[in-house]
Structure 1
């Protein structure tokens, strides 16, 4: 897949200029697979789906430049053909997911704690600001930024800073070896083991602790994924199984399970009641067990914890997260939309000030996804 790098997204630019002139807000969308994430947005839809294609891929340089409307599946297939991947494992939430949505949402998959997040792999970006100007920041190498690194600020901005059109990403080779180990451990013991292993030279790539809440007698299980050189993965697997009594899964079974964890299609992510909300707790990896009476799934070696709870539990959940030096996000609202409950926890005042100034500079009329981030 290739495109002409000299093309201009004139249709998108014209739509932004028209919206600015009339003061109409724009709801920026790619595949619209993450419309549930963040506060609801009203306005005319600006779709980036037609602006798609891989502009340039240099396998030897580990860099790819791609247009925002490119389907994530298409990009990952092109990278896989060259033995490469996006190490942060962006979740899909649907086949229509686009790379622009990946950057704007800033969400990462199971490997986030060891491989890094979305913004760690953004080298440069082009986007349309609120004045209808097509701007370019960063480039296609790691050390190229003087001044503000706006391209990385776009990661997780939820479309509130501008319309992302193109992005250059660092990619990595697919690891030569992989193994998934399973241990029967309660939550406290699982976290203790993860903290202990984290201080050792082990090729740990991802972890997931879960208990099937629909089956009272189901075991509590810790899944651990190792990736790296063949010798390192094999040696670590044997050692951990001997020390902790785990078993090794077949990769043909483990692979789809990790993909389901990434895309939230595991049984855990199906609510037992339509009124329940999915909460995401972002905590230090060393945070202890959070004493809340709700089913949990724990990733990122303890740093990301999911739980199902009613919207009425917002204060208790956010207080528990704050006590552990973290914060809580209402990731998916229940059937009633959780009225009166904000999706995102309150930011620190200094972050709010910086964010407001940046938005005022890039989108002075406030037309891009107004209110999406609260």
Structure 2
């Protein structure tokens, strides 16, 4: 089913990149600007791709949607809702202008990630403009076409440093028949142990988060299965009454960073670790998402301290959002430093896709 064909700006964007190559003018790729805070600060001419939008092809029976990168998530979700389907990796929406291209370029996934997969896992194919102004297509619109060197998934999380994403083909999933959230009041240590235990069981869990001494357990599936699982796991049912009397929480608030926790004048860090990692040696406020594998921390500690904290835990730290500029004035490092071998690999990929260093140079690391 073809839905939209009149907002294709491929020729315009290709021309702009070719002009930039000729002029040796670096470009900063922008669209909805809902994630403008994410990544290193770069000083380049903007290339706005927000008008390259629209759903190109959507086959509900095939569970595949192909969309242009400037398409807003609100438009995509509206169309999917008509067929009781969803983006299973739950990309965050930090404002109404959040686009699918930005979500894929940043590689961001929501609370279902440990149970359903990440953004990268749902990308079947993509079309890009590389740093030489060439149009390239990778993958396809069916799962059997994604074998071999999967450059389409390589674009996920590359922050536009390898190419301007023109369109993506995404696997979608049916919405669950029923969902409910259970709440248990626990200590941090007990919550981490229980999350690890629950994740190893054959329960229909689609979300595990520990926040403000409360463990939230989301179940998704048939009503009969959820009733049985609820009886085994126990806990209070998350309802509007609970929210009003105890703590305001929803999975959408968590993923979209609209919980009170995220309304802070401190810097926001994300530290990814193995789920069995104990609580980190830090006194700052923390949310434990992804069954304990994702730690959101608000802190005024300097970058070096936080990066070392993650390194000691054998994890990866990201300075997700800078609120306190005083801690970041002399250090534009936003991501865990790469090993020598990984940095070499990144440089080779950058050289292959963007040999003139035109596209978002330095957005991930200063060397690329």
Q: In the alignment, what sits opposite 1:369?
A: 360
User: 2: CA distance between counterparts of 1:356 and 1:311?
Assistant: 30
Q: Which residue is 1:301 aligned to? A: 291
In structure 2, runs of 5+ residues without a counterpart are none
Q: 1:47-66 residue pairs with structure 2 within 5 A?
A: 47-66=48-67
- Per the alignment, residue 224 of structure 1 pairs with 217
Partner of 1:356 in structure 2? 347
Contact kept? 1:19, 1:26, Cα under 8 Å: yes
Cα distance, 1:311 vs. partner?
4.1
Find the aligned partners of 2:269 and 2:20 in 1 and give their Cα distance.
34
Deviation at 1:146, TM superposition (A): 4.7
5 Å-filtered alignment, 1:29-44, equals 29-44=30-45
> CA deviation digits over 1:220-251, x for unaligned, max 9?
1111111122222111112111xxxx200138
Once residues 30 and 72 of structure 1 are traced to their aligned partners in structure 2, the CA distance between those partners, rounded to angstroms, is: 12
Q: Tell me the SS of whatever aligns to 1:143.
A: helix
CA distance in 1, matches of 2:305, 2:167: 41
Deviation at 1:147, TM superposition (A): 3.7
Are the structure 2 counterparts of residues 310 and 6 from structure 1 closer, same or farther at C-alpha, using a change threshold of 3 Å? Answer: closer
Q: 1:336 Cα deviation (Å)?
A: 1.7
Distance 2:323 2:53 in 1: 33
The 4+ residue runs of structure 1 with deviation greater than 6 A are 251-256
Written as runs of structure 1 = structure 2, the 5 A alignment for 1:104-123 is 104-123=105-124
Distance 1:198 1:147 in 2: 31
Write the distance in 1 (CA, Å) between the matches of 2:240 and 2:148: 45
Q: How does 1:313-328 map to 2 (within 5 A)?
A: 314-328=303-317
Question: What is the deviation of 1:252?
Answer: 10
How far apart in 1 are the matches of 2:271 and 2:298?
11
By how many angstroms is 1:8 displaced? Answer: 6.0
What CA deviation, in whole Å up to 9, does each residue of 1:62-91 have, x standing for no partner? 000000010111001101111100001000
* Cα 1:253/1:183, change in 2 over 3 Å: closer
1:46 matched to 2:35? The reply is: no
Q: In structure 1, what is the Cα distance between the partners aligned to 2:119 and 2:232? A: 32
The question of whether the paired residues in 2 share the 8 Å contact of 1:180 and 1:251 is answered with no
CA gap of 1:6–1:328, structure 2 versus 1, over 3 A, is closer
* Structure 2 CA distance for aligned equivalents of residues 234 and 328 of structure 1: 38
Match in the other structure for 2:125: 124
Deviation per residue, 1:112-162 (Å, 9 max, x gap): 111110000000000001111111000011121354211000000001001
1:263 to 246, 256, 265: 256
Q: Give runs of aligned pairs for residues 36-185 of structure 1, distance below 5 A.
A: 36-185=37-186
Shift of 1:297: 0.6
Q: 2:323 maps to which residue? A: 334
Q: Mean Cα displacement is larger for which, 2-11 or 82-91?
A: 2-11
Asked if structure 2 preserves the Cα contact closer than 8 Å seen for 1:292 and 1:317, the reply is no
CA RMSD, 1 decimal: 1.9
Structure 1, residues 254-303: CA drift from partner, whole Å, max 9, x if none?
897111101001000011xx3x2111110001111112011101100000
**Deviates further, 328-337 or 248-257:** 248-257
Q: Label 1:194 to 1:73 Cα distance change in 2 as closer, same or farther (>3 A).
A: same
- Provide the residue aligned with 1:214 in structure 2: none
TM-score (norm: length of structure 1): 0.92
Q: Residues 138-194 of structure 1, C-alpha deviation per residue, up to 9 Å, x if partnerless?
A: 001112135421100000000100110000000000001111001000110000111
CA distance in 2 between partners of 1:2 and 1:194 (Å):
42
3-state SS of the aligned residue for 1:350?
A: helix
